[in-house]
Amino acid sequence: MKVSDRTYFVLKRLHSLTGIFPIGVFLLEHFFTNSKALMGAGAFDQAAAELARIPYVGAVEALGIWLPILFHMVLGVFIATTSQANTGRHGYAANWQYLLQRVSGVILIFYIIFHTWQTRFDPNYLNSASAYQYMHDQLASPVMFWFMVVGILSACWHFGNGLFGFSIHWGLATGRAAQRNAARLGFAVFVLLSVVGINSLLAFTGRGFYPDWITKPHAQEHVVVVEGGNR
């Protein structure tokens, strides 16, 4: 399907914008909530319950999360199938970025559909007394675990590289040096979020890394008890 240059320009801007806000913001919140699993089943279940108690949570999810994701998906497929997308004019690294962005997007379509069903409609989840225990049981399957790993890596790459695309489409990185820095920043975000996401996934299996100093209480002053009172 052929579209005008102006229409394509507007679509690219809308696509990059929705990828950062609200979808990117939701990804960061999702990783933050999942990281509660590093503190144990009780902490994660409490965090999940607090989210479920948000006023008008159904409307918030539908209008603020699922509708933008659907819009981003449809628009992404449309853009990827138009003739304007020509990777031959880009450098070697840019070609790989372009390819991985499209591949990760396709993976995420299936991953998001499955994960949404898994945590919103699966009777086993809905009837489970503990969301943490449900995820623990699901991830006991190596197939499920590695499927989730691939989904997390795809989401992190899509967001990190999407930041690079956003900086270009919105005129934030116009020169070569600025674009190189934007690409490096996007890759750093991908690596950092991948570590956070996979670590939170491991937390549901009891193997997440959570340094003691994060929760270790500050050393309390010693109170010396002597005869006649405290000092």
Residue 77 pLDDT class (50, 70, 90 cuts)? confident
Compute the mean pLDDT over every residue in the chain, rounded to the nearest whole number. 87
Burial of 1 (0-12, 13-18, 19+ CB in 10 A): exposed
Tokens of 62: 């539908």
Tokens of 182: 């934007």
The confidence score (pLDDT) of residue 212 equals 65
Per the structure, the complete domain to which residue 70 belongs is given by 5-230
Question: DSSP class of residue 226?
Answer: E
> CA 159, CA 91: separation in Å to the nearest integer?
21
* pLDDT value at 163 more than 80: yes
Tokens of 224: 């010396």
Residues of the chain with pLDDT > 70, as a percent, come to: 86
> CA 231, CA 211: separation in Å to the nearest integer?
34
Say which CATH number the domain at 137 has: 1.20.1300.10
The single residue listed with the structure tokens 């394509």 is 8
Q: What are phi and psi of 138, to 5 degrees?
A: -65, -45
Summarised one tens digit per residue, pLDDT across range 91-117 is 677 888 888 999 999 999 999 999 999
Quick check: 160 and 153 in contact, CB under 8 A?
Answer: no
Summarised one tens digit per residue, pLDDT across range 48-66 is 999 989 999 999 999 999 9
* Total number of residues shown for the chain: 231
Q: How many domains is the chain partitioned into structurally?
A: 1
* pLDDT value at 216 more than 90: no
